[in-house]
Amino acid sequence: MAITKKDLIEIVADKTEFSKRDVQRILDESLNTIVYGLKEDVDRKVSISGFGTFVSKSKEERTRRNPVTGESVLVPASISASWKPTKQLKDILNDK
């Protein structure tokens, strides 16, 4: 079962003295800051100690082939994002 943003807000509010509204504002601003950091400079990293690193990567415009028709298709340039967990987080998840 996935923990939704709403679930996360409720969990943090229950474990702290902050209201759900305050937790939502903090979470929203934190996520916006990560997005801004990735979008501001392509191939940039946003690292959160003990958690992981978000990375934005640029992909050049390229030609690909449609596997059904065999037709060449131009894929526009884009920016993608990825996340890599820290060794510390992996160890916690694997009970090390």
List of residues 6+ apart from 40 with CB closer than 8 A? none
At residue 96 the predicted structure's pLDDT band, cuts being 50, 70 and 90, is confident
Which residues span the domain enclosing 53?
5-93
User: pLDDT for 19-74, tens place per residue?
Assistant: 999 999 999 999 999 999 898 876 789 999 999 999 998 889 999 999 999 999 99
pLDDT at residue 1, as a whole number: 82
pLDDT at residue 87, as a whole number: 96
Q: Among 94, 92, 87, 81, which residue's Cα sits nearest to residue 34? A: 81
Alpha-carbon distance 91 to 89, whole Å?
5
Q: How many domains, in total, are found in the chain?
A: 1
Return the CATH number at 63: 4.10.520.10
Pairing of strands 72-75, 62-65: antiparallel
Alpha-carbon distance 7 to 5, whole Å?
5
pLDDT at residue 27, as a whole number: 97
